[in-house]
Amino acid sequence: MKNIDPKAITVKKALCPFCSFGCEFGVVFNDFGITGVEYISKGSSGGRLCPRGSAAAMYLDHPRRLSTPMKKQKSLEWSKIVKELKKVVSNPKNVAVTFDRNITLEEYASIIGFCKNAGIDDISSTYFEPETNLRSFLPKAFSMTEVDDAQLVLLLGDPFNQAPMSSRAIIDWKLKDKKNELVVIDSINTHTAGFASRFMKVNVGTEPLLFFALAQEKIEGVDITKATGIESSVINDVSKAIKGVKKGLIFVCLPFAHTYDPRLYAEGLARLQSFSGMKVVPFVEFMGHKGNQNFASIIDKVKKKKIKYLLNFGELFPFYYPQMADDLRALNIYATATLKYDGYNALPVPLNLEKDGTIITTFGKKNLGGNIEPPSGTKSINEILSLLSDGRGKGEALRPPEKKVDVAERVRRLAEVSVTKKKNLRLVGEKVAYNFLGFFEGEALKMNPRDAAELGITVNDYASVTSKHGSVDLPVKLTEDVGKGIVAVPAETPSVKGLFEYLIDSGDNTINFIPTEVKICRKE
Amino acid sequence: MQKRIVLDLDLCCGCRSCEAACRVAFKGEARIRHGDIAGVAYLPLACKHCKQPLCLASCPVEAITRDENTGLVLRSANICIGCKSCAYACPFGVIDAPLVRHISQKCSLCVDREEGPRCVAACSSGALQWLSDEEIERHEIGMRMVSKDLFFRRKA
């Protein structure tokens, strides 16, 4: 008989897959299971770990962890669901295959190869978040030490809250020399903005217009100050500063549903990059994979009843985008999942934390390690694919059609949207590491006190937030950090994420979440 | 006390990594809290392990004791009755009033961890530091709070 020693622990090294920083840490086990995380001082982040990394232990040990396939909320044997799936893929024209952001490069290659062998043509990524547009800026090898000799750093968004591991190098650099200029651009006042030498608070969603203006691009017929809310003298000052800088860096943390046109955001960044010579470094929640353009065509085929089944590989889709349920209602969905959710056929798979494979980070490719054993009953994506098809091969990368966008037209459209008076408040999303998947605390709605007073909302009240996709009750936090007419919420849980409106881009067919008009009333 | 948690206000970016590390390690207890002085600073509230702790004095069941050798002020989870007296007595507002598993959320400076408190290990910006009295003497800390000029203390 084994003697249990409650003090005996094992530490298994893991790579955090929850953002593009790729920190290393240890998961601590004792004889009773997971007890927490340990900070590995020799790791890439020097042992430091943001709330997402700390939450890894809670995710691994989540009470809703899925360990058997589920159909109509009932457990099912693997053999039965595999038999069903084999029948489904035997008619490939009826089937679409999607994959979300939580897959490794090897799994991606396997999925594409499986589709090629099975004859499935409708394949798409479900990485719908605006940051997917930043993928083209991924440097091959970036190191945070590059910050040390920069003269100017431009921070777009709120990296200190979204990817907190970026904070130390940037703050140390800022404190080292008073000449070092830190410029922050955002539409709400964030913790990151608190460290800025110069904070450019733009009107919601108008960052792309500001990028064009900073890059001295001519935008005919657009009053840039009216559209962005930034004085032209300030724009000129910053533009001169970034043009004259010997070495500068642009860090991008594009929050959820912050801009109306993420594609134009990426175009604007590219112009700013070529104007200033500054390197663009994206810090994003996940790096994801190319190809969300194809999803719009899948929706189209679903509406025409040409596709009847959807197979999704990853951890989150379709559970995290409930607003898509209407578009996907006609489908029979089989989705790999790590937690129990209602409404879809679910296949239990390991978390990224439990996988061995390669992911893309801001600092290049990294291996997940696969040191942690997944729950019994789960099958890896490659195992599932092997069960469905004997001749699984390696496919070529998905190459969605590249469509050029009419930048001038988009700029005019965005300028119009930004100055049009809105009837309702506009909801924007935030990505805050502490709110990761709602593990530590639920979302709270940030609201300007003047808006709150008009609606009879006071401190400690709850408010009903209603969009065309649904309604959620949230506690209200009154703050001047958000301007009048704007409300902000960390978009982490499906119920809150489900409020946001999505738009299929007419130019390149990508799906993006945008600032959303909401009605707000005090909850009695 | 050989070492203590020291906060460099210049560095704290308000990410709450410290609070998250604590909550994970102690099954939901946020033994370090996070305050926000609007527009001025972010303020992790760590227990100071006072020499004459009011939390100890207010505890009706002597669940909180002070170790004279280490200086640690510790709460016994077995004795605590969750009356919240300590939370209301703490002059720094460090002990959060809501109970977790019916007991108060009292910092132990991670006595179970040789390398020091987890909140310090996790701190993303290096604002929380684990320093001895001598190290503190040599260290300028938190001048941003008292200076009109941001980052005043770090001379170019």
Query: Which band of pLDDT confidence, cut at 50, 70 and 90, is reported for residue B2?
Result: confident
CB-based contacts of A198: which residues, under 8 Å, 6+ apart?
A181, A182, A183, A184, A234, A238
B31 contacts on A by Cβ (under 8 Å): none
CB-based contacts of A467: which residues, under 8 Å, 6+ apart?
A427, A499, A500, A501, A516, A517, A518, A519
Q: Chain B: nearest CA to A508, how far in angstroms?
A: 36
Average pLDDT over every residue of A175-189: 91
Query: Which band of pLDDT confidence, cut at 50, 70 and 90, is reported for residue B141?
Result: low
Least confident of A281-285, A300-304, A466-470, B38-42: B38-42
B13 closest CB neighbour out of A178, A191, A480: A191
pLDDT in tens, A398-448: 766 666 778 888 999 998 887 777 778 999 999 899 998 888 988 999 999
B29 contacts on A by Cβ (under 8 Å): none
Among A439, A434, A433, A446, CA closest to A493 = A439
The answer to whether B121 contacts A191, with C-beta atoms less than 8 Å apart, is no
CB-based contacts of A276: which residues, under 8 Å, 6+ apart?
A215, A242, A243, A245, A248, A250
The predicted pLDDT at position A40 comes to: 86
A160 contacts on B by Cβ (under 8 Å): 13-15, 125
Q: Are A284 and A134 in contact (CB under 8 A)?
A: yes
Q: Are A336 and A326 in contact (CB under 8 A)?
A: no
What domains can be seen in chain A, in order of their start residue? 10-60 (2.20.25), 70-129+288-388 (3.40.50.740), 132-282 (3.40.228.10), 421-523 (2.40.40.20)
Using DSSP's 3-state secondary structure scheme, residue A281 falls into strand
The answer to whether B19 contacts A161, with C-beta atoms less than 8 Å apart, is no
Residue A25 has pLDDT above 90, yes or no: yes
Least confident of A282-286, A475-479, B127-131: A282-286
pLDDT in tens, B94-110: 998 889 999 999 999 99
Query: Could you tell me how many CB contacts below 8 A there are between chain A and chain B?
Result: 108
Instruction: Nearest chain A residue to B151 by CA: give it.
Output: A175
Q: Are B16 and A434 in contact (CB under 8 A)?
A: yes
Higher pLDDT, A3 or A185: A185
Domain with CATH 3.30.70.20 in chain B: 1-46+109-148, 49-106
- Calculate Rg over the CA atoms of chain B: 16
Instruction: Nearest chain A residue to B36 by CA: give it.
Output: A191
CB-based contacts of B33: which residues, under 8 Å, 6+ apart?
B19, B44, B45, B93, B94, B96
The DSSP-derived string for A406-437 is -HHHHHHHHHHHHHSPPSSEEEEEE--GGGGG
Residues in chain A: 524
Instruction: Nearest chain A residue to B41 by CA: give it.
Output: A194
Higher pLDDT, B7 or A465: A465
Tokens, residue A488: 């902000």
pLDDT in tens, A155-174: 999 999 999 999 999 998 98
The predicted pLDDT at position A489 comes to: 96
- 3-state percent breakdown (helix, strand, coil) of chain A, nearest 5: 30, 25, 45
Q: Chain B: nearest CA to A283, how far in angstroms?
A: 15
ipTM above 0.95, yes or no: no
The answer to whether A37 contacts B23, with C-beta atoms less than 8 Å apart, is no
Longest dimension (CA), chain A: 81
The answer to whether B15 contacts A191, with C-beta atoms less than 8 Å apart, is yes
B125 contacts on A by Cβ (under 8 Å): 160, 164, 167-168, 171
Residue B57 has pLDDT above 70, yes or no: yes
Using DSSP's 3-state secondary structure scheme, residue B124 falls into coil
Return the CATH number of the domain spanning residue range B1-46+109-148. 3.30.70.20
A158 contacts on B by Cβ (under 8 Å): none
Q: How far is CA A305 from CA A93, A96, A324, in A?
A: 11, 12, 16
A51 contacts on B by Cβ (under 8 Å): 15-17, 19-21
pLDDT in tens, A454-463: 999 998 899 9
Distance CA(B110)–CA(B22), nearest Å, equals 9
Average pLDDT over every residue of B110-121: 93
CATH topology of domain B49-106: Alpha-Beta Plaits (3.30.70)
Strand partners, A483: none
CB-based contacts of B76: which residues, under 8 Å, 6+ apart?
B63, B64, B65
Q: How far is CA A411 from CA A253, A265, A419, in A?
A: 21, 10, 13
- Interface residue ranges in chain A relative to chain B, Cβ cutoff 8 Å: 36-37, 39, 45, 47-51, 53-55, 57-58, 160-161, 164-165, 167-168, 171-172, 174-179, 191-192, 194-195, 197, 433-434, 440, 479-480
Pick among B123, B125, B141 to test the A interface (most A CBs inside 10 A): B125
Average pLDDT over every residue of A518-522: 96
Distance CA(B50)–CA(B65), nearest Å, equals 11
Average pLDDT over every residue of A31-59: 87
A160 closest CB neighbour out of B15, B19, B122: B15
The answer to whether B23 contacts A164, with C-beta atoms less than 8 Å apart, is no
A58 contacts on B by Cβ (under 8 Å): 24
Distance CA(A223)–CA(A228), nearest Å, equals 9
Cis peptide before B60 (omega within 30 of 0): no
The answer to whether A37 contacts B24, with C-beta atoms less than 8 Å apart, is yes
A430 contacts on B by Cβ (under 8 Å): none
Q: Chain B: nearest CA to A133, how far in angstroms?
A: 25
Q: Chain A: nearest CA to B151, how far in angstroms?
A: 6
Cis peptide before A318 (omega within 30 of 0): yes
Query: Which band of pLDDT confidence, cut at 50, 70 and 90, is reported for residue A245?
Result: very high
Instruction: Nearest chain B residue to A59 by CA: give it.
Output: B24
B15 closest CB neighbour out of A47, A434, A480: A434
B24 closest CB neighbour out of A58, A175, A433: A58
Q: Chain A: nearest CA to B133, how far in angstroms?
A: 23
B17 contacts on A by Cβ (under 8 Å): 48-51, 54, 164, 433-434
The answer to whether A171 contacts B21, with C-beta atoms less than 8 Å apart, is no
